[in-house]
Structure 1
Amino acid sequence: MEQPIRFGIMGCAAIARKLSRAIKLSSNATIVAVGSRSPDKADGFIKDNGLPENTKVHASYESLLDDPDVDAVYVPLPTSLHLQWAVAAAVKGKHILLEKPAALCVADLDQILDACEANNVQFMDGTVWMHHPRAAKMHDLIQDPHLFGQLKMVNSIASFHAKPEFLHDNIRVRPNLDGLGALGDLGWYCIRFILWTADYELPRTAVAFPNPVKNEAGVLLSCGASLHWENGTVATFHCSFLAHRTFQATAVGSKGTLTLSDFVNPLEEKSAGFIFASQSGFKELITGWKPLPSNHVIPTEIPQEACMISEFSRLVGDIRDGGAKPEKKWASISRKNQVVMDAVRDSIDKGFKPVQIVG
C-alpha cells in the first residue's frame, strides 16, 4: 500500500475540526502535525479531535513548514493571512489545500498560484460541494444538449442568520481578518455554482445589487449581484449573514431545469438530492405537469469533504510518488472565482455600476 499523504494543519480554526475528521476518513491521507502559535491550543486540538498521540505539535507555522514529514498543509487561517502563509508553504514545497475564499483579491491569489507553479506544488481551494458524487451526476445532465439545452439562467442563494456574538466578533466580520465578509464566506459558493454551470466561461459584466448591508467597520453582511454573458445568459446570487439558512441553487436551460436546496452542505451526510425537469409541459386544461420532474438521490460512502481530501491526496501522491505535474484546473477555477468576486466588490464600491470582467 502506498504511503498516505501526510498533512500538517496550520492553525486550529473551527473549520479545521471538520477537515481533520475528513482526513481521518480518507484512505490515502493522515495528519502528522498541527501548527499553532499556542502549543497548548495545538495539543488541545489533537486531543479533542482524536488525532494520534504521536501527532507533532509545532509552536509556529514556520516550524510546521520546515517539518520534512509533512507533504501537504491545510490552511484554514483568516483570509488576510493566506498570501503570506500559502506562499511560504509553496516555497517550502508543501502542497496546499487552502480554505475559501482563496485570497482578498486576484492580485494576491496570483502570487500564491505563481509560487505553487514555481515549486511544483498542487493547489486546491476548500469548496467541498464540487467533490460530492452528486456534482458529477448533475454535471452530466446539464451538459446534455437534449435534456438541458443551452444555459439561460442561474440563481444561487447562500445565507444563514448569524447570532449577535457572530456579528460582533467573528473573524468573518472583522476587516483586518476577513474583510470580504459575507461576499467571501458565502458569495464564493454562489459564484462557484454559477461558474460551474457555465462550464467556467467567465461572464462579461457584474452588477452589484443596491443597498448591501455593512457593519460599522464596513464589512459586508449581506449583498448580491447579477452576472451577464454576451450570449444573453444571466445569473443572480444573494449571500447574507442576516437571513434564514438557505443554500438554494437553480440552473435553467432551454430544455431543462436543475434545482437543489442544499448545494453547499447536503441535508444528509450519506446522500444528496436534486430535482431535474426536462421538456416539461402542462397537462390538458393546465391541471398539472407532464412529464413530472425527476428526483435524484446520490449516495456517498464518505462525506463530501473526505471526497475532497481523497482527490487532493491522489493528485499529491501522483506528484510525490510518480513524478506527475500538478493538476492546474483547480488553480484556474479558483482564479476565475476570485476574478468574479473582485468585480462584484468593485461594482459595490463604484455605486452599483456595471464592471467589466477581464480574465
Structure 2
Amino acid sequence: MSDGICRWGILSTAEIAQKNWAAMANARNASLVAVASRDVAKANSFIDLCQGSTPVPDRPTAYGSYDEMIQADSVDAVYVPLPTGLRKDWVIKVAEAGKHVLCEKPCAVNSEQLQEMVTACQQNGVQFMDGIMFMHSQRLAAMKGLLADGQVLGDIRRISGSFSFNGPEEFQAGNIRTSSHLEPQGCLGDLGWYQLRFALWAMDYQMPESISCRMLSDFHRADSPHPVPMECSLDMFFANGVSVNFYSSFITEHQQVCTVAGTKGFLRIDDFVLPFYGNRLNFEVFQSNFVVDGCDFSMERHTDQHATAEYSNNKPGAQESLLFECFSDLVLQNKTDPFWPDASLKTQRLLDLAMESALGGGKVLTV
C-alpha cells in the first residue's frame, strides 16, 4: 500500500481482464502495477493493448511468471481471472503470499475447492471476494429499498429471469467456457452464478429448501473430456413459499432480465449484469390494476420508472470501478469482511446442487 492506494496485479491475460483493467484505472483508490503471464511477451502485449485503450500513468510491470508477481513486494491485491479449472492452487498461493484475492466467477469447480481457497485467505488474514460487479451498483441499493419497505411490492412471491447470449460457431469450437476441463459448469457457471447471487440477494441470503435444474442442451467438443451445459432451466423453492426460476443459455440471443414479483406489484430489470450503455441505470416497478365496469373489463398499466445516476462500461462511479474501490478500501483499512466469502460459498453450494441435478436428469435436491 502506498499513499492511500491499493496496488493491484492481474494474474493472467484473460480477455475479461481487459475490462477490469479499465475498472482499476477508474477506481479512486486503486493502481494497477503488475500483469503476469507464463510468457513475458504475452504480458507486454496485453499491457500494450490496454494502454492503447485505457492508459494508466505508470506502465505496469510485465512478469513472465505467476510466482514472481505473487511474491512481488509492490503488489497488495491480485485479481485472478484464470479459468475455473485451474484457479484453486493459484488463489491459495496468492493468499499464502499475503496478497488479497479478487476471484473471477464461478469461483471454483465445487464447494470443497472454494472452501480451501477461503480458508487459505482466512488463515493468512487476507480478503476474498468474487467479481460480481452488480453487487456494487448504486441501482442494487435502490432496488433493495423498494423490496424492503413492503409498501410498493408487498411480500415477495416469485423471482424469475433469463440470462443468455448466442455464442457463434467459433465460441463453441474454441472458447474456454465450452471446455469441461477449464469451465465444467458451462452456462450454469458463467451465467447462472449471477442469477443465483441475485436470488440470494433478493432473499437476504436465506438459502432455499430445494433446487432442481434441467439441462435443455449440452455441447461436447472434440478436445473436451465431457459435455458442458449450454442451456438450462433452474428452479428453487424457499421455506416461506417463494419460488425461483432462471433460464441460462449460450445458444439464445442476449437477455439479462430479472423480475421480482410480490403481493402488490413487481420489479423488472432488463440489464442486471451488464448495464446498457449510458449514464443512468434503470429499472421499472409495475402495479397494474384490473377494473370491471359493467361489460368493460380493463387492465390498467401503472408503471414507475426508476433510475440511478451511474455510468456503464467501467467508467468512474460505474459498478465495476466501485467493486475495486470497495475491495481496495478493505485492504487500505487493513480489515477483512466475512460477508463476501460467505456469499461466494452460498452461491457455489447452489451451483454444485444445480449441476448435480442437471446431470441427474433434473432431480429435485434438498439444500
Range class of TM-score, shorter chain: over 0.9
Structure 2 CA distance for aligned equivalents of residues 32 and 203 of structure 1: 42
Deviations 1:120-156, CA, capped at 9 Å, x for gaps: 1111101101211101100111111222222111002
Structure 2 CA distance for aligned equivalents of residues 94 and 155 of structure 1: 38
Aligned to 2:29: 28
Measured after TM superposition, the shift of residue 53 of structure 1 is 5.0
Task: Mark the CA change 1:269 to 1:19 in structure 2 (over 3 Å): closer, same or farther.
Answer: farther
Deviations 1:89-136, CA, capped at 9 Å, x for gaps: 111111111111111111100001101111111111011012111011
Gapped regions of structure 1 (runs ≥ 5): none
Measured after TM superposition, the shift of residue 2 of structure 1 is 3.8
Task: Mark the CA change 1:229 to 1:37 in structure 2 (over 3 Å): closer, same or farther.
Answer: same
Q: Which amino acid in structure 1 is aligned with residue 285 of structure 2?
A: F
**Runs of 4+ residues over 3 Å off in structure 1:** 51-54, 283-288
Q: Does the CA contact (< 8 Å) of 2:163 and 2:191 recur in 1?
A: yes
Aligned runs of 1:45-84 on 2, under 5 Å?
A: 45-50=46-51, 51-52=56-57, 54-84=59-89
Measured after TM superposition, the shift of residue 67 of structure 1 is 0.2
SS of equivalent to 2:89? helix
Aligned to 2:242: 233
SS of equivalent to 2:79? strand
Q: Does the CA contact (< 8 Å) of 1:151 and 1:254 recur in 2?
A: yes
Aligned runs of 1:177-326 on 2, under 5 Å?
A: 177-209=182-214, 211-216=216-221, 217-278=226-287, 280-283=288-291, 284=293, 285-289=296-300, 292-300=302-310, 302-319=317-334, 324=335, 326=336
Structure 2 CA distance for aligned equivalents of residues 219 and 8 of structure 1: 31
Task: Give the number of aligned pairs.
Answer: 350
Task: Mark the CA change 1:269 to 1:62 in structure 2 (over 3 Å): closer, same or farther.
Answer: farther
Deviations 1:179-238, CA, capped at 9 Å, x for gaps: 111110011111111111111111111111253333343111111210011221110111
Measured after TM superposition, the shift of residue 269 of structure 1 is 4.2
- Indicate the RMSD between aligned Cα atoms, in angstroms: 1.5
1:160 equivalent to 2:170? Answer: no
State the TM-score, normalizing by the size of structure 2: 0.92
Structure 1 CA distance for aligned equivalents of residues 298 and 78 of structure 2: 57
Structure 2 CA distance for aligned equivalents of residues 188 and 128 of structure 1: 12
Percentage of matched positions with identical amino acids: 34
Aligned to 1:100: 105
Structure 2 CA distance for aligned equivalents of residues 286 and 27 of structure 1: 55
SS of equivalent to 1:70? coil
Aligned to 1:150: 155
Structure 1 CA distance for aligned equivalents of residues 200 and 138 of structure 2: 18
Deviates most, 301-310 or 14-23: 301-310
Structure 1 CA distance for aligned equivalents of residues 278 and 220 of structure 2: 34
Deviates most, 71-80 or 171-180: 171-180
Structure 1 CA distance for aligned equivalents of residues 8 and 297 of structure 2: 58
Aligned to 1:343: 353
Gapped regions of structure 2 (runs ≥ 5): 311-315
